[in-house]
Amino acid sequence: MKALIVYHKTKQDLGTIKEMLEKRGFTLDYRFGEDDELPKISENSHDLAVFLGGPMGVYESGEHPYLLNEIDYIQRRLKADKPLLGICLGAQLIAQSLGGDVYKGAQGREVGWCDVQINGAGLKTPMRHFDPSKTKIMQAHQDTFDFPKGAELLGSSDMYNTQAYRVGGKVMATQFHPEADQHILDYWLKNKKDFFDVEDNSPEKMLAEAKLYLSILKTQTALFMNEWLDDVLPKSGNNNA
């Protein structure tokens, strides 16, 4: 099996999901968003596509024109009804692909360890593994989006309603970061420390809480990923180790 991984900073942005996909037998095909390779890639050539986060806004396509290529690929992938996961910027790109505008959130930055309330619909899906009764999750965003047509809301936070959603049976998206690991946190705080310094949160607080929550989040992300992939991949293609 083959997974397309679209990243915007480093390959390490895949975080704990890398290990999970490799255990299932996936070959990981990394593509840097800025390389403009997506127009050459068929929407049917990968069993799974994962679009990761990034510091740019979907609305900044004038400065980052490759984002339009990502939206085009996602639209093709959606039409082909192929498994797709979007995280943070990835979730926003999927929303934009479905006609939901992306913009800076009026509530400001949502960062650090938070709760996402999984609603009744979400509790019937693999997203239930991120319910506050199971884990804290990691937030690192200031953008939000209008809820896209044809999607189903699965979870919300106190600051932003659109935290988790699905489209049809094969597309999942999270505004939060289920893939977070120590490398990702260290990278963020080295390169964007000021971004995480807001009321009720600080880089120091985030790192201290990581000692409590990272391992739990990893476990819950594995449960989410494996259950979701069991649902969306052909049964003959599953290799859940």
pLDDT of residue 147: 92
Q: Which fold has domain 2-237?
A: Rossmann fold (3.40.50)
Q: Please state the pTM of the whole predicted model.
A: 0.95
Asked if residue 37 lies in contact with residue 73, where contact means CB atoms within 8 angstroms, the answer is no
pLDDT of residue 200: 86
188 phi/psi in degrees, rounded to 5: -60, -45
Could you list the beta-strand ranges (E) of the chain: 2-7, 27-32, 48-51, 84-87, 102-104, 110-114, 117-118, 137-141, 143-145, 151-156, 164-167, 171-174
Residue ranges per domain, the chain?
A: 2-237
Question: What residues are labeled active site?
Answer: 88, 177, 179
Asked if residue 238 lies in contact with residue 229, where contact means CB atoms within 8 angstroms, the answer is yes
pLDDT of residue 241: 39
Asked if residue 162 lies in contact with residue 147, where contact means CB atoms within 8 angstroms, the answer is yes
Low-confidence ranges of the chain (pLDDT < 50): 237-241
pLDDT of residue 237: 43
Q: Which is nearest to 98 in space by CA: 148, 50, 146?
A: 148
Q: What is the pLDDT of residues 142-165, one digit of tens each?
A: 999 999 989 999 999 999 999 999
Rounded to an integer, what distance in angstroms lies between the CA atom of residue 241 and that of residue 239? 6
The tokens of 156 are what? 């919300």
Rounded to an integer, what distance in angstroms lies between the CA atom of residue 204 and that of residue 185? 11
Q: What percent of the chain has pLDDT over 90?
A: 94
